[in-house]
Structure 1
């Protein structure tokens, strides 16, 4: 029987978290390699796209396998109205915080675009295959991967029975570390977003709630990004 976080040595838990963190940060490099090879071998981009999706889905499955024994309540049950309201309120908070911090970043640094968003735009602008694959992954796979890691592993492995608010804050900070930030304001933007997601997970006891909010946010962000890129051409 698979051990829960409570049964694992702290060093083992830290190594698991670091390994998953590195995996999720490096997986987009597969598309970069495919784009580089496509200059000489056109079909390389299709292979890279398939490998990227397979690896990303594999990371999601591994994340679920790791956290499942640590979740005492059934997950992915039918959404209740209170859970839907939590998602909608959470998204409203993210929008308000994003608008405020983006305005502050534009005032201080002369640009409201985070380094993470710049990296996403650059990758999406590479070619049509990359745009389709990365947009799909960002909207529908990344929410599972990142919630399993930054909420599931961080909270259920390390803070399952204690440190309610510390786990929320640490989850947000680690989530921000996984998103490229070139200044304190953009770091704060992703950190507060991560804390909202962590709060919903802790409050509801359901990883599906933070996944739903994450998916809603990412899907709308991807649509707006694609519309901006298309209109700029």
Structure 2
């Protein structure tokens, strides 16, 4: 049985005289799964916090969270509480699990699922499907794909300065505003194609969007440099 994801961001008491350790204990008692993070699940303030929130979302489990940026005493307190100096920190059944890399590894190898089953006995906890693979295509093949499918969105992950030096027709700059728009309102079946100078930055961007659930994602493996060499020599090299 699937159930709704609930992730309210808990507030601290705001009383500077309250023992942070007691506050943390109280928070952990309020939910089987608890995440101390920077920001909120809906608006994370660092990539590592975002990663753990997305992992929990993929597992479809209810959890509570606390934004450590809102209370410096709690921010330092959780580091002392777990003897772990970085944020985010995930707890299950009041036991410290780990930070971003640990949670990701445990999600991939199934250990996180075992802990979640213990936290929610009787619930049907099923692992999320693995993200689709990024389709790596050289510039010449990418040009052919774009010609055949006009619905593909061509996304440039370079800087504005680089775009002024050389650009591809019908491409748009992938800035933060567009990232938020894509994640918030675009159909995850919409085909996306990423490029940069030589394919490395765009590969990272493409992998990020597959991790967010997008199903048709391409990366131009040799970038705009390969496009200039093999598709359109009028595009400046730099």
Based on CA coordinates, which of the two structures has the bigger radius of gyration? 2
TM over 0.5: no
TM-score by length of 1: 0.25
Query: Is the helix fraction higher in 1 or 2?
Result: 1
Q: Which has the higher contact order (CA 8 A, sep 6+)?
A: 1
TM-score by length of 2: 0.25
Query: Is the strand fraction higher in 1 or 2?
Result: 2
